[in-house]
Amino acid sequence: MITKVKHSSVEMENRHPKDLAYAAMCADLIHPGHLNIIRIAREHGSVIIGLLTDEAIASYKAPPVLPFAQRKLIVENLKGVSAVIPQESLDYTQNLRRLRPTVVVHGDDWRAGPQTLIRAQVINLLGEWGGTLIEPPYSSGMSSTGIRQRIAQDPPISTAIYQELSNRHQPAAPPAPGPALSS
């Protein structure tokens, strides 16, 4: 869903000369939902990812598996991402006021539940400069938290199978030296 927010008191000449599309994410374990958000954002401008810091993530769920610097390196190298900046909290205000993006992209999962207040705040901020909120359908079953839980409950591969597969990829041992042949 696209929510066009009407321009209020801020003059349009204050907009960035190039359209910016902003999306915030944890990106702890990259999955197709992240790629979908980036793809949609890329259709609307240069993609700036507000990558939640380790502290921001830990404020509402388990700490990330990968630290911020590693997650940043991964996200910077995803196709379509123009820049990655830290998002220090769940509050978008600081980054949105600084960047004034023309578009913010977030899955529609925040229309209900604990993120509804953050969503309302984003809509109000976008209203200051006539930005647009784009809310693609949430990628059901695709969350880093869900992936972590599935791995913990049902490891995808048993230790025995892992060892067998690992052994297949080991270089063959050289033949043992045999008796010397004489002529």
Q: Does residue 116 carry a pLDDT above 60?
A: yes
Give yes or no for a contact between 65 and 28, defined as CB atoms under 8 angstroms apart: yes
Average pLDDT of the residues in 37-43 = 97
Domain boundaries, the chain: 20-118
By the 8 A CB rule, do 100 and 131 touch?
Answer: yes
Q: What is the mean pLDDT of residues 66-92?
A: 97
Q: Is 9 a residue whose pLDDT tops 50?
A: no
Residue 18: band (very low, low, confident or very high) from pLDDT cuts 50, 70, 90: confident
Nearest-5° Cα angle at 23, 83 to 120: 145
State whether residue 25 is helix, strand or coil: strand
CA 63 from centroid of its chain's CA atoms: 15
CA neighbours closer than 13 Å in the CB half-sphere of residue 7: 11
Q: How far is CA 75 from CA 71, 78, 121, 128, in A?
A: 6, 5, 25, 29
CB 37 within 8 A of CB 80: no
Dist. CA 71–CA 178, nearest whole Å: 52
Binning pLDDT at 50, 70 and 90, where does residue 183 land?
Answer: low
Helix or strand or coil: residue 14? helix
Portion of the chain with pLDDT greater than 90, in percent: 56
Name the H helices within 65-141.
68-76, 93-99, 116-127
pLDDT at residue 29, rounded to an integer: 86
Instruction: Between 85 and 163, name the one with better pLDDT.
Output: 85
pLDDT of residue 138: 83
Which of 26, 22, 25 lies closest to 40, judged by CA?
22
Task: Report the pLDDT value the prediction gives residue 163, as an integer from 0 to 100.
Answer: 64
Q: Which of 49, 68, 50 is nearest to 58 (CA)?
A: 68
Stated pTM of the model: 0.72
Band of residue 162 on the pLDDT scale cut at 50, 70, 90: low
Per-residue pLDDT, 153 = 73
Average pLDDT over residues 143-167: 64
CATH code, residues 20-118: 3.40.50.620
